[in-house]
Structure 1
Amino acid sequence: MTKPGRSASPVNPGESARKVLVIKLSALGDFVLSLGAMKAVREAHPKARITLLTTPPYKEFAELCPYVDEVETDGRPEGMKATAALIQRIRKAKYDIIYDFQTSGRTKNYYTALNRTGRPPLWSGHHEKAAFFHDNADRKTMHSIDRLAEQLEVAGVAPGGRWLGNSSPKPDLSWVRPKLRDAPRLQPAYFSLEQPYMLLIPGASAHREAKRWPVENYAELAKRVAERGITPVIIGGKAEGQLAQEIVRKEPRAKSLTTRTDLFQIVTLAEKALFVVGNDTGPMHMAAIAGAPGIALFALNESNPDHAAPRGAKTIIINSAPTLAELSVDDVWQSVRALGVLPS
C-alpha cells in the first residue's frame, strides 16, 4: 500500500501499451547500436503502435526496420516554432510511454516541455524527474549497448527483470536481406565484385580527423591484401572519395565504392566480406553487426574502445594507440593474420 504523501512507483504498461515513442536521433554508429534495445521495446509492447523519432539520414533504413511501425524525422527541429510544433504533436499523440535512447540535452528539453501541462506519458531516460530515471553515475563510460540495457532494466524491460552481461540486447541486422527480398542490388555482383573481397572503411566524423588511420597506411594494407588474391573494397560517403582515390592510385587492384552504397548495401556487402578493417565510425559498427570479422582502429586520445568498440557475432580485434599515426601497417597486418581468414 502506498503511504500518505507518496506516489506509487510507476509501472511499465507492457503488453497493454497502445502507443509507444522511441527517440534516437543520431549518429549512425549509435543508431545501429540501439537496434537491440528497439527490438526489446517491440517485444515488451507487442500490441502497441511504435513510432520512432529520428532524423532524415536514417529515414529509409528505419522505415524498413521490423521493430517500429512509423518513422518521424523531425527530431531536431530548427527554431522555437518548429520545436513547439513537435512537442504539441507528441502531446496530442498520447503515447503511453516514451523511450529516450538519445538522452541528450535536446531530448531532456523535450521532456521538460511535455511536463509543463496536462498528463505527460511515462518517460524512460536520463532526467531526474522521469518515471524511469537511468541515474547510473557511470553511464557516460558504459558501452552504448550496456547502457541501453541498463536503461531498459530501470524501465522494467528485461527478461526476468535483468539483462546480464553478454545477454544485453544485441543489435541485429539479419532482417535487411529478407526485407528487401535479397534484391540484385544487395549482391556483390551488382558492383562487379567477385569473392574473396574485404572492406576498407577509411573515413570517420568530418570534424574528428584524428580518428582516421593515415591514408597511406590503408594503401599499403590494400597492397598486402591484394597480393593475397583478395580485392580490397573501399566504402564510405562523399567525404571519403578523396581518400579512396589516393588508395586506388597507390594500389590499382583496390576498388572504390564510395558514394555508391546505401546503408542496406553496406550490411549485405559486409555479410559476404572475408573481413573488414576500419576506423571508429558508423559503417564499421554496421559491418561487425552484419557478421563480418575484422579489425577496428582506435586513437585512444579520441575515443575509448571499452565504451565504443564494435560488437558482432564474429571476432573483432581492437588495434589502438594514443594516435593512429603510431599504429603501423605491420601491427594491423599481424591482427589480420590473427583472424585466421586469409587464404593459405
Structure 2
Amino acid sequence: MSASWPVAEGQGAPPPVRRVLVIRLGALGDFVHSFGPFQAIRQAYPHAHITLLTTRPFMELGRLSPWFDTVEEDTRPSWLDWRGLLALRHRLRGYDRVFDLQTSGRTARYFRLAGRPAGWSGHKAGSPLSHANPWRNDMHTHARQRDQLRMAGLDTVPRPDISWLLACGTMTLPRPYALLIPGASPQWPLKRWPAGSYGELARILHARGVRPVIVGTEAEKPLAAEIRAICPDALDLTGQTTLPDLAGLAAQAWGAVGNDTGPLHLAAMTGCRCLALFSRLGNPSLAAPMGDMPEQVRVLWVRDLALLPVQRVAAALW
C-alpha cells in the first residue's frame, strides 16, 4: 500500500505523517460505507495519531472501532456563528493529512477553514491530493471513496474487519429470524414501503417458519405497532438496539428486508442476506447496500413503493 506525498523531481523525502484527520459526519449508511476507507487509512499510517471528526450519533461507533485514536464532535455550527466557526477552525488545523470522506458542500468550506492545507484529500480543488475525477458524482459511494483514496496515494482499500463491532453486540435470538427495517429518513416518506405491507410480509415469513423481528429507532415504534397489528407474532425491538446490537443480530439473521436506510447498509456489511427496497427518490447505482458475495444483496426498485406488491417482495426472498 502506498501513502506517498507527491514530490517534485529534485526534492527530498516527504515529511513524515504524524497527525491525520478523517471527516465523516453521516448518515449511517454513508458512515458504514466508509469502514473500508477508515481501515485503509489506519493501515497506511500505523504510527500516526488519527482523529475522526463526526456528528454525535456516530461518536460511540468511532470510539469502539480500532481505527481512531481520538473522536471529536462536529456540532455543525451555523455559518453566522463566529464562535462556533472559530472552534471548528481550531479542530481542523495542524494535521499532516486530512481525508474529507463527507465531500459535501459544507465540508468544502472546511477546506478553507483549515487554511487550504496541501495534505487535504477531498473534492475541493486546491490540494495536490484532491479527488479530481470529473465523474465522481456518478460513482457509487463505495467506488468513489476508493478512487479518492487512490488519488491520495492509498492504492488498496481492504474489506473491513468488523469483528470488533460484532463483539460489542449483546443481543441473541433463537434462529431462524428475519429483520424487518420499515423506517427511513422522516423527511422522505416516499422512501418507505408501507408498514401494512411489512405486516403482510411478516405473516408470510412467520407462516414459513421464520420469525419476523422489527428493528429501528424509538420514533419508528408506530410502524412496528402497525406491523404487529397484522402479525402479532412479530417481535418489536424498535428503540432497543444499539448499532453493535443491530450488527450482531444481522450477522445471525436468516435475512433482512428494508428501505433505503442506514440499518440495512449495516446489515449488509455483516454478510447478512439483504433485500433493499428503493423508490424513485433513491438511485441504487449510487447508494445501494454493498455485500461481499454474489446475490447477497438484492434490490427492488419501483417508482412508488406504495404500489410494490407484497408477493413480489416475498418471491425475491426465496
Shared fold, TM over 0.5: yes
Within-5 A mapping of 1:1-344? 8=8, 16-74=16-74, 76-78=76-78, 79-91=81-93, 94-115=94-115, 120=117, 122-159=119-156, 169-178=158-167, 180=168, 186-188=170-172, 193-299=173-279, 301-314=280-293, 315-337=296-318
Deviations 1:274-316 (A, max 9, x none): 10000110000000001110211111x1011111111123411
Per the alignment, do residues 170 and 326 of structure 1 end up closer, same or farther by CA in structure 2, a change over 3 Å counting? farther
Check whether the contact 1:174–1:290 (CA below 8 A) recurs between aligned residues.
no
| One-letter code aligned to 1:122 | G
Partner amino acid for 2:310? V
Q: How far did 1:13 drift?
A: 5.9
Distance across 2 between alignment mates of 1:172 and 1:221 = 33
* Counterpart secondary structure, 1:296: strand
Contact 1:123/1:132 (8 A) holds in 2: yes
Other-structure match for 2:3: none
- For residues 49 and 254 of structure 2, the distance between their equivalents in structure 1, rounded to whole angstroms, comes to 39
Give the letter aligned to residue 288 of structure 2. A
Is the 1:54–1:74 contact (alpha carbons within 8 Å) kept by the matching residues of 2?
yes
Report how far residue 76 of structure 1 moved: 1.6
TM-score, length basis structure 2: 0.91
Runs of 4+ in 1 over 4 A off after TM superposition: 9-14
* Runs of at least 5 residues in structure 2 that lack an aligned partner in the other structure: 1-6
How many residue pairs get matched?
307
CA-atom RMSD in angstroms = 2.0
Q: Which structure 1 segments of 5+ residues have no match?
A: 1-6, 160-167, 338-344
Once the two structures are TM-superposed, the CA of residue 75 in structure 1 deviates from its matched residue by 5.0
Deviations 1:82-115 (A, max 9, x none): 1111212332xx2110000011122111111222
Q: Secondary structure at the match of 2:228?
A: helix
CA distance in 2, matches of 1:43, 1:254: 43
Aligned 8 A contact 2:29 2:265 in 1: yes
Residues 237-277 of structure 1, C-alpha deviation per residue, up to 9 Å, x if partnerless?
02211000000111000011000001110100001111000
TM-score by length of 1: 0.85
**Which residue of structure 2 aligns with residue 163 of structure 1?**
none
- On the 8 A contact 1:53/1:75 being kept in 2, the answer is no
Identity %: 44
- Tell me the SS of whatever aligns to 2:306: helix
Q: 1:145 to 1:171 in 2, by over 3 A?
A: farther
The answer on whether the counterparts of 2:34 and 2:101 sit within 8 Å (CA) in structure 1 is yes
Distance, in Å, in 2 between the alignment partners of 1:146 and 1:12 is 30
Q: Distance in 1 between matches of 2:12 and 2:281?
A: 40
Aligned-partner SS, 1:175? helix
1:38 Cα deviation after fit:
0.7
Q: 1:332 Cα shift?
A: 0.6
8 Å contact 1:32–1:171 — kept in the other structure?
Answer: no
Q: Answer whether contact 1:24 1:52 (CA < 8 A) is retained.
A: yes
The answer on whether the counterparts of 2:194 and 2:306 sit within 8 Å (CA) in structure 1 is yes
Q: 1 CA distance for matches of 2:100 and 2:12?
A: 17
- Check the 8 A contact 2:108/2:124 in 1, yes or no: yes
* CA offset digits 1:46-66 (Å, max 9, x no partner): 110100000100111110111
C-alpha distance in 2 between matches for 1:12 and 1:52: 27
- 3-state SS of paired residue (2:163): coil
C-alpha separation in 2, matches of 1:56 and 1:302: 26
State the Cα distance separating 1:327 from its structure 2 match. Answer: 1.4
Closer/same/farther in 2, CA of residues 84 and 327 from structure 1, 3 Å limit: same
Q: Secondary structure at the match of 1:59?
A: helix
| Bigger mean CA deviation after superposition, 67-76 or 211-220 | 67-76
Structure 2 equivalent of residue 164 of structure 1: none
Partners of 1:11 and 1:212 in 2: CA distance: 56
Distance 1:75 1:169, change over 3 A: farther
